[in-house]
Structure 1
């Protein structure tokens, strides 16, 4: 083997071994970054298969008044994990260099819990329907965002990236 090939092989092995997603499990006390992102030991972790409203996103409650549903999602997640040990099993790295992981507290999948509470959505593009049942339950019960109206986070982000303001992008009627 040539020295260049050996060097490339060593670099590839080092990259694989040092990859947080392939490092296995990240365990510890977590802080909440937003409704679908945690931080454990300084490592950002994106919950796999779910998408919560963005921090500046607004939804309408059953009273038709706007509220900060992104902040509410983060607060709900913080309440659930408060002071508990979080166990995250990495499955990928996203384009923002965050570990994408399935995380749990005890036996409870955090992604499922936040979707069942109505503050995040099953993201079929990545979940392959893993949280669809939890989402249907939240919708039937009118929990969280299901109590009023909302824009799914992926459409909200697309509107914001297109130059829209948070209030405009948060309201379905104004997305046209």
Structure 2
């Protein structure tokens, strides 16, 4: 092969590599060097511990669901009547109940995120997609930045049915995090502590705990469901309606 042709081939290859590095340097800088050279992890299978609505832990490994974003643990949203409720905690509880119905969970690796977490696509033992279920039931949002609209259909279904977050008003988790970064205003209230404003507006209180037999109306039952740490016990079938004999 002529030397001139060899030189041109090497030069073209070098230019291609340089261009590729420049295009990907921004995303690569968020990934620690040890992870760049590490082999792709095998799928993780096991009983999951729920961290929040889009993160679990299996065998000590944190796993972030690929392509969706759920409310943060300390995030509050508004229900259909404008009352605040702990939507982040509600999302985590919904995920925990969903996973418990068909164990173990299996997660296939997608990438490492900037926080060194395993980002993956997870399914229950029965094959149900965890991310798709969370979005379809309004407990998480399709995150177009990473999903490229993979769960747009499920989200449209949840919005039309006013499921989960879509029953009232909420701030997208990525926007909530941006507005609650270090130095920004603190979260509305710590988890587990009732807002005096809510109690004053409704006349209800989370103490003492109540059963459906002790509740007199559907509105009261829904308030406990959405605002009290024990409220989930009033919704035995997990459909978002508490004490259905009253509703």
Report the TM range for the smaller structure's normalisation: 0.7 to 0.9
Determine whether 1:16 maps to 2:38: yes
Pick aligned residue for 2:96 from 45, 67, 78: 78
When Rg is computed on C-alpha atoms for both structures, the one with the higher figure is 2
Deviation at 1:138? 0.2
Moved over 6 A (4+): 11-14
Distance in 2 separating the partners of 1:67 and 1:126: 28
Q: Which residue of 1 aligns with 2:174?
A: 154
As a proportion of its length, which structure holds more strand?
1
Which of structures 1 and 2 has the larger relative contact order (alpha carbons within 8 angstroms, sep 6+)?
1
Distance in 2 separating the partners of 1:85 and 1:12: 29
TM-score with structure 1 length normalisation? Answer: 0.83
Instruction: Note the residue ranges of structure 1 that are not aligned, 5 or more in a row.
Output: 1-10, 169-176
Deviation at 1:12? 7.6
Pick aligned residue for 1:102 from 121, 124, 139: 121
Q: Which residue of 1 aligns with 2:57?
A: 39
Deviation at 1:142? 0.2
Deviation at 1:16? 1.9
- Deviations for 1:39-94, whole angstroms, at most 9, x for unmatched residues? 00000000000000000000001121000000000000000001611000011011
Q: Which residue of 2 aligns with 1:27?
A: 45
Distance in 1 separating the partners of 2:185 and 2:75: 12
Secondary structure of residue in 1 paired with 2:180: helix
Secondary structure of residue in 2 paired with 1:108: coil
How many equivalent pairs are there? Answer: 154
- Deviations for 1:9-55, whole angstroms, at most 9, x for unmatched residues? xx9899423xxxx1120001101000000000000000000000000
Pick aligned residue for 1:142 from 159, 162, 176: 162
Secondary structure of residue in 1 paired with 2:44: strand
Q: Which residue of 2 aligns with 1:64?
A: 82
- Deviations for 1:94-152, whole angstroms, at most 9, x for unmatched residues? 11111000000122110000001101000000001000000000000000010000000
TM-score with structure 2 length normalisation? Answer: 0.60
The root-mean-square deviation of aligned C-alpha atoms, in Å, is 1.9
Instruction: Note the residue ranges of structure 2 that are not aligned, 5 or more in a row.
Output: 1-32, 190-247
Determine whether 1:165 maps to 2:186: yes
Q: Which residue of 2 aligns with 1:172?
A: none
